[in-house]
Amino acid sequence: MRENIRTFLTHSRSMCVHCHRQLLWIENVPLFSYIFLKGKCRTCHKKIPVHYFLVELFTAIVLTFIAWYHVNYLSAFNLSAWLRDVFFITILIVVFAYDAMYQEINTGLVWVGAVVGFFINWFYLGYSAQSLLLGALIAGGFFALQYIISKGKWIGGGDVRLGVMMGVWLGWPNVLVALFFAYLIGAVIGVVLLLTKKVQKGAAIPFGTFLAVGTFFAIYHGNEIIQWYLSLTKF
């Protein structure tokens, strides 16, 4: 999958991970090609990794949810908001899958996401530029500080850049919701992995995956969480 994500990011043709033959269009149809080929390359007959199928299936489910949410949950359908969410979630899925498997966050993808996301939120959807930039400063600065203090041992540079992207997507204070849930989910999964001895103490865990999940949650429930929290502080 690493090779195919890189070819996607560099606009190159997809290829078999085993024999490196360029795939025909009929072999690139999401879900159906995997089923039609019975999970094997048409040329070398080696097994196609199942995570290709799972990522495609998950993507289809999430994009269907986005369409349902914008059509049925919101008071009025906004084409710009829907296209923005499709763009955002597609990037988050790539970040999640790539970091989970290879512990790496693509720099170019994150910067494109940050720039385009800021432009859409500010120019088309009327978000406050001050809120977006403050969110980027808080999230990016938070991770940058950890990176500097630990000299890159706690988190990687990709997390710092991802924090900037999260900030301009969510703005202040909604980015705090994404950070909270990312650390909460990361802590729970980390404890489970340690108890089940899937990882050793001190082993690196791809934190970008948790940031992607936290961001997804904040996109759709950030405002509700913030309002709920503020209501608790009123006496």
Same domain, 28 and 125: no
Q: Please check the confidence at residue 8 and state whether its pLDDT lies above 50.
A: no
- Chain-centroid distance of CA 13 in Å reads 23
Same domain, 39 and 62: no
Tally of domains within the chain: 2
Q: Please check the confidence at residue 1 and state whether its pLDDT lies above 70.
A: no
Written as six digits, the tokens of 145 are: 């500080």
Show Cβ contacts of residue 56 under 8 Å, excluding neighbours closer than 6 positions. Answer: 30, 31, 34
Q: How far apart are CA 103 and CA 98, in angstroms?
A: 7
Q: Encode pLDDT of 173-201 as tens digits.
A: 999 999 999 999 989 988 888 888 777 77
Looking at the DSSP assignment, which residues form a beta bridge with residue 40?
47
Mean pLDDT of 120-134: 94
Domain residues for 27? 1-48
Q: Identify whether the C-beta of residue 15 lies closer than 8 Å to the C-beta of residue 23.
A: yes
Same domain, 116 and 186: yes
Q: Encode pLDDT of 103-124 as tens digits.
A: 889 999 999 999 999 999 999 9
Same domain, 39 and 55: no
